[in-house]
């Protein structure tokens, strides 16, 4: 099976099977870690507050996208298999 990622890019095999629940949990943990680590980085001048906020917001958007996919999984499966 060949999975197309973007135009001109592909994988020879499908990605590893990691459940959506596990992906959501891991992204949630990552957001928590970023909040803790980035706060120290901002305090020490290693990162701006704006960059910290942007990176955390980006990962939060990933989390919300995965949660949306989870809520609509049945509808998506039906659309893909029909």
Burial of 1 (0-12, 13-18, 19+ CB in 10 A): exposed
pLDDT at 5 over 70: no
Residue the block writes with tokens 């135009």: 7
pLDDT in tens, 42-81: 999 999 999 999 999 999 999 999 999 999 999 998 898 8
Do the beta carbons of residue 24 and residue 67 sit within 8 Å? yes
The domain limits of the chain are 17-81
Question: Alpha-carbon distance 16 to 34, whole Å?
Answer: 25
| E-strand stretches of the chain | 3-6, 9-11
């Amino acid at each position: 099976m060949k999975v197309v990622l973007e135009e001109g890019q592909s994988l020879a095999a499908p990605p590893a099977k990691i459940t959506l629940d596990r992906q959501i949990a891991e992204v949630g943990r990552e957001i928590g870690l970023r909040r803790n680590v980035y706060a120290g980085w901002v305090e020490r001048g290693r990162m701006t507050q704006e960059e910290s906020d942007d990176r955390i917001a980006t990962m939060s958007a990933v989390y919300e996208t995965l949660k949306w996919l989870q809520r609509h999984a049945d509808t998506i499966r039906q659309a893909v298999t029909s």
